[in-house]
């Protein structure tokens, strides 16, 4: 079966990281790059079942793990929350709504400022800075205001 040019590019990226370019890996990486949110493994699995009916949730977790370990994806999660994944490779931060759990990407403009003002242990090499801002999204703030108005 021949691959489209975009599938060939994904296959080359996978191969460059030492991963076999299977139909499942290509499909998952393509989907992860296409979505604008931070999906869970279960959400990715449901979306992929349309094209790959025999794909198991276990396989999705295994593929995600291999993508994360090899730097093609990231796992974005905080204490007890479901694991959420992304394929955005540029440095960025997150804002998470404490009500609905939605994650929003924020441009990382202050990595150098954080690095310059943070004392790390001697010999420690900073590879990545992870920042998550916790708050309430516009939708949840609006819902809360409406509920407050009804109760007043």
Asked whether the beta carbons of 32 and 73 are under 8 A apart, the reply is yes
Q: Give the pLDDT of residue 152.
A: 59
pLDDT at residue 12 above 80?
A: yes
pLDDT at residue 148 above 70?
A: no
Asked whether the beta carbons of 131 and 94 are under 8 A apart, the reply is yes
pLDDT at residue 36 above 80?
A: no
- Residue 64: band (very low, low, confident or very high) from pLDDT cuts 50, 70, 90: very high
pLDDT tens for each residue of 97-126: 888 888 888 887 766 777 777 788 889 988
The set of residues, in sequence order, having a beta carbon less than 8 Å from that of 55 and lying 6+ positions away, is: 24, 45, 48, 49
Asked whether the beta carbons of 55 and 48 are under 8 A apart, the reply is yes
DSSP characters over 87-138: ---S-EEEEEETTT--EEEEE---HHHHHHH----TT--------EEEE--H
- Residue 22: band (very low, low, confident or very high) from pLDDT cuts 50, 70, 90: very high
- Quote the tokens at residue 117: 């003002």
Lookup result for tokens 């796992």: 75
Domains in the chain, start-ordered, CATH in brackets?
Answer: 1-89 (1.10.10.10), 90-152 (3.30.1490.190)
pLDDT at residue 133 above 60?
A: yes
Q: Give the pLDDT of residue 1.
A: 57
pLDDT at residue 140 above 90?
A: yes
């Amino acid at each position: 079966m021949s691959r489209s040019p975009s599938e060939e590019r994904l296959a080359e990226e996978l191969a460059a990281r030492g991963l076999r370019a299977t139909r499942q890996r290509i499909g998952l990486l393509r989907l992860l790059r296409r979505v604008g949110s931070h999906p869970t493994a279960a959400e990715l699995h449901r979306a992929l079942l349309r094209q790959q009916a025999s794909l198991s949730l276990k396989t999705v977790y295994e593929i995600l793990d291999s993508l994360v370990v090899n730097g093609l994806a990231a796992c974005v999660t905080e204490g007890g929350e479901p694991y959420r994944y992304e394929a955005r490779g540029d440095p960025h931060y997150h804002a998470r709504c404490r009500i609905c759990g939605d994650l929003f990407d924020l441009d990382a403009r202050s990595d150098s400022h954080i690095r310059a003002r943070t004392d790390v242990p001697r010999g420690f090499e900073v590879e990545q800075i992870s920042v998550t801002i916790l708050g309430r999204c516009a939708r949840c703030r609006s819902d809360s205001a409406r509920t407050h108005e009804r109760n007043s």
